[in-house]
Every structure is written in C-alpha cells, then in structure tokens.
Amino acid sequence: MAKGKLIVLTGPSGVGKGTLLRSLLRRHPDLYLSTSVTTRSPRSGEKHGREYFFATRPEFERMVANNQLLEWAEFAGNYYGTPRQPVEEQINQGKWVVLEIELQGARQIHKTFPDAMRIFILPPSMSELEQRLRHRASESEDAILRRLERATLEVGAANEFDIRVVNDDLDEALDRIELALFVPRETVAV
Ligand code: 5GP
C-alpha cells in the first residue's frame, strides 16, 4: 500500500485556518485531521477530544518525556503538541494527514518529515488580522497582543513554506490549497 502523506497548515492566529480546514475536510472527507494536545483552557463551545485534547502542564510534560509527541511548541503561554501514534498509524495506512500547527512545530516537522507539504496561510493585511482577532473576542487584551506579536514573526517566515495562500476570499483560498495538494506540480502553469 502507498504510504500516506503529511500536510502542514500554518499561519498566524486569527487568519482563519480553522474555517479553511473545516471546508477542506467537507470537500475531502478522506483527509485525516490530527487532534492536538494543549494546556490552554477550552474556549466556549470547545470539546475535549474534538478541537483539542486539553491537558495540564504536568500531563503535557509527561507526554514530551515519553516521546509521545511528533512535535510540540510553546505558543502565547501555552503548550501545544501533535500526538505521535495516531498520525503514524494513519500515514502507515496510506492516509493523508493534516496538521494545523504554528511555526516552531512546522519547522520541527520539516526536519523529521522533509517530504511533508507545508502551506502557509497569510492574512490580506496585518490590520485585517488584528480586526479578526479582536472580533473573535475570546481572548484577553494581553493574549491578543501576544498573538499579534507572534503573528508578525510567523508572517516573516512565510517564505520557508512550499506555498503561501492569502485568505481573503475563502473559496479562492480553498481552490489554491486543493491545487497544491491534488494537482501534480508539472501540470500546474506558473
Ligand atoms: P489556538 O489557541 O488559537 O487554538 O492555537 C494557537 C496556535 O497553536 C495556532 O497557531 C495553532 O495552529 C497552533 N497549534 C495548534 N495545535 C498545535 C500543535 O499540535 N502543535 C503546534 N506546534 N502548534 C499547534
């Protein structure tokens, strides 16, 4: 059986990765979205095991020590990581696995899985990103500022990725992602 493939989706907090991903998975239910572990508190409406596995810091640190995470990073004061076992299982079964992770994690994956396809989602502008983050109203001012600071750093690293997609119009952004994933490179006009 052909080996699966790893797809990494990265982009600043508030850029709309979640919405893009939900639409991508609706169009391609055969894709497997990895569920991360995090030490941040659940937002309203988030469910353990669906958006994230919510863990305490000692629990997370134990997972790191036991080598149970494929990659992990600290982001805006919390830990986030990708559980190793489900991802390896899916890839061994020939599945395409999507990781929605931040920059440091994407860099780790680039080292351990050099064949992974890495996609960076860009906001139309930084002021638009700030508006989207504030509109979400799920974080404190301090957390929003930390996320904005981090966003500037991440956007500066966008060139490290295989492709960059501006999330201005959702359908156009989705089309570009699909093109990158499903159309062989040599048939794409550049
Ligand atoms: P949020 O708190 O907004 O859900 O996520 C904050 C950031 O953490 C986002 O950029 C998201 O992509 C990233 N993230 C989510 N899960 C993981 C993970 O497993 N590993 C890493 N490195 N980043 C993650």
Phi-psi map region of 14: left, alpha, beta (phi>0 left; psi -120 to 50 alpha): left
Identify the residues whose C-beta falls under 6 Å from ligand 1: 13, 36, 40, 71-73, 75, 80-82, 100-102, 104-105
Instruction: Record the tokens describing residue 174, joined without a space.
Output: 């989705």
- Structural domain of 163: 5-182
Residue 62 lies inside a defined structural domain of this protein? yes
Determine which residue's CA is closest to atom 23 belonging to ligand 1: 101
Supply the pLDDT for residue 187. Answer: 63
Q: Out of 10, 35, 38, give the residue to mutate to test ligand 1, the one with the largest number of ligand atoms within 8 Å of its CB.
A: 38
Residue 189 lies inside a defined structural domain of this protein? no
The answer on pLDDT for 171 being more than 60 is: yes
Supply the pLDDT for residue 6. Answer: 97
Helices (H) and strands (E) in the chain, counts: 7, 9
- Give the CATH number, domain containing residue 131: 3.40.50.300
Residue 155 lies inside a defined structural domain of this protein? yes
Q: What's the pLDDT band for 89 if we cut at 50, 70, 90?
A: very high
Q: What is the per-residue pLDDT across 90-147, written as a single tens digit (0 to 9) for each?
A: 999 999 999 999 999 999 999 999 999 999 999 999 999 999 988 877 788 898 899 9
The answer on pLDDT for 83 being more than 90 is: yes
Determine which residue's CA is closest to atom 19 belonging to ligand 1: 81
Residue 188 lies inside a defined structural domain of this protein? no
Burial category of 102 from C-beta neighbours within 10 Å (exposed 0-12, middle 13-18, buried 19 and up): buried
Dihedral angle sign, alpha carbons of residues 115, 83, 107, 168: positive
Q: Classify residue 115 by its DSSP letter.
A: T
The structural domain count of the chain equals: 1
Residue 14 lies inside a defined structural domain of this protein? yes
Residue 190 lies inside a defined structural domain of this protein? no
Contact of 42 with 52, CB cutoff 8 Å: yes
Supply the pLDDT for residue 186. Answer: 65
Q: What is the per-residue pLDDT across 15-68, written as a single tens digit (0 to 9) for each?
A: 999 999 999 999 999 999 999 999 999 999 999 999 999 999 999 999 999 999
Instruction: Record the tokens describing residue 75, joined without a space.
Output: 């982001």
CA 151 to chain centre: 13
Supply the pLDDT for residue 3. Answer: 79
